[in-house]
Chains A and B, each alone.
Chain A
Amino acid sequence: MKFRKDKYILRFFGMSLSMILLGTIISIFIKSMFFIGGGLILGGFVLLVSGLYVSTKPIEYFMPDERIKKNTAIAGYHAFWLVLLIITIFNMIEMSSPSSVKYLDASTVIMLVGVYSFLSLRWYYNKKGGLE
C-alpha cells in the first residue's frame, strides 16, 4: 500500500499527533480538566485514523464536485433554520415561563438536532437528485 506524503497529509498528521500530545499533557498535569484532555486524545486518534485512510487515496478522490457542494450548501441552509428554531423555542421558554431550560441540557439538544439534521438532509438531497 502506498501512502501519500504531500504537505496536506503531513499537516494532518502533525495536527493529530500534537492533539494527542496536548491531551496527554493536560490529562496528566491538570487533573481538573481531564475531560478536555480525554477529548483531545480521542479527537487526535480519530484524525490519525482518518488521515491514514485519506493518505492511501489520490488527492482527486476527495475533491467535491459542483453537485456535492450545492447539496451541502442547501442541507446547511435548512439545518441552520432548524437550529435557529430550536434556539428560539428555548429562548421563548426561558423568557416567558418561570422555569428555565439549563444550557448544559439544551446545548446537547441543539448540537444533536443540528448535526443529525444536516447529515440526514445531505443524504436526502443526494438521493433526491436535481435541486430546484
Chain B
Amino acid sequence: MKLINNKRYTVLVVLGLVNIMIGLAEMLKIIPYSGTATPGVSMMGAGIIILIIGLYLSRTPESESMPDERTMKRDMKVQSSTFGIILAYVTLLLLMDVSWSSNSINMGDFFLIFSRPEDMSVLFSRYMSIIFVAIISIVALTFYYNKKGDMK
C-alpha cells in the first residue's frame, strides 16, 4: 500500500514527525528545560494530531481534499469576522485591566470556574482566553454562515 498519494500534504507529515521528535527529546531531557509547563507532552500530542491529519489528507484524492469556492469564501468571511471579534475582546480585556487592576481586582480570575492549583494558572491566562474566544467564534460563525447559505 502506498502511504502518500498526494505529495502536497507531505509537509504536514514531516511537521508532525518533527514535533514528536522534539517532544520526545524534551521528555528524555536531551533538550534542557526549566519552565513550569510540560511542553514535551503538548508537542507530542500536537505532533500526533498533525501526523494523522497529514496522513489522512495525503491518502485522499486532491479533488476531495481541496476546498471548493463556497467553502473558501465562507472561511474567509468567518475568519475576517473573528479578527474583528478578537480585536474587540483584546480591547475589552485591556480596558478591564486598566480600570480594575489598579484597584487590586484581578480580572484574570474572572475566567476561572473552579478553584485551581497554582501550576494550572497559566492555562487560564488572558492569552489562552483570547485563543478560546477565537476558537468558539470560528465554530459558531462557520455554523451560522453554513446555515445562512449564500454569502452577502
Stretch from B2-10, B12-20, B51-59, B120-128 contacting the other chain? B120-128
Instruction: Annotate B99-143 by CB proximity to A: 1 below 8 A, 0 otherwise.
Output: 100000000000000000000001001111011001000000000
**How many B residues touch A, CB cutoff 8 Å?**
34
Asked if A77 and B75 make an inter-chain contact with CB atoms under 8 angstroms apart, the answer reads yes
Closest CB-CB distance, A65 to chain B, in whole Å?
A: 13
Residue B94 at the A interface, CB < 8 A? yes
User: Inside 8 A of B99's CB, which chain A residues have their CB?
Assistant: 33, 36
Closest CB-CB distance, A64 to chain B, in whole Å?
A: 11
- Which of B79, B98, B122 is most buried by chain A, counting CB atoms within 10 A of its CB? B79
Residue B27 at the A interface, CB < 8 A? no
Which A residues, 37 to 76, have Cβ-Cβ distances below 8 Å to chain B? 72-76
Asked if A79 and B83 make an inter-chain contact with CB atoms under 8 angstroms apart, the answer reads yes
Cα of A131 to Cα of B91 in the assembled complex, Å: 31
Which A residues, 67 to 103, have Cβ-Cβ distances below 8 Å to chain B? 72-77, 79-81, 83-84, 87-88, 90-91, 94-98, 103
Asked if B75 and A94 make an inter-chain contact with CB atoms under 8 angstroms apart, the answer reads no
User: Inside 8 A of B79's CB, which chain A residues have their CB?
Assistant: 76-77, 80-81
Asked if B87 and A103 make an inter-chain contact with CB atoms under 8 angstroms apart, the answer reads no
Asked if A95 and B37 make an inter-chain contact with CB atoms under 8 angstroms apart, the answer reads yes
The closest CB in chain B to the CB of A115 belongs to B87
User: Inside 8 A of B36's CB, which chain A residues have their CB?
Assistant: 95, 98
User: Inside 8 A of A94's CB, which chain B residues have their CB?
Assistant: 122, 125, 127
Q: B-side binding surface: helix, strand, loop or mixed?
A: helix
The closest CB in chain B to the CB of A76 belongs to B80
Residue B22 at the A interface, CB < 8 A? no
User: Inside 8 A of B122's CB, which chain A residues have their CB?
Assistant: 94-95
Cα of A110 to Cα of B90 in the assembled complex, Å: 8
Closest CB-CB distance, B42 to chain A, in whole Å?
A: 9
Asked if A96 and B39 make an inter-chain contact with CB atoms under 8 angstroms apart, the answer reads yes
Cα of A95 to Cα of B91 in the assembled complex, Å: 22
Contact of B94 among A73, A81, A88, A103 (CB under 8 A): A103
Q: Which 3 A-B pairs have the closest CB atoms?
A: A76-B80, A80-B83, A91-B127
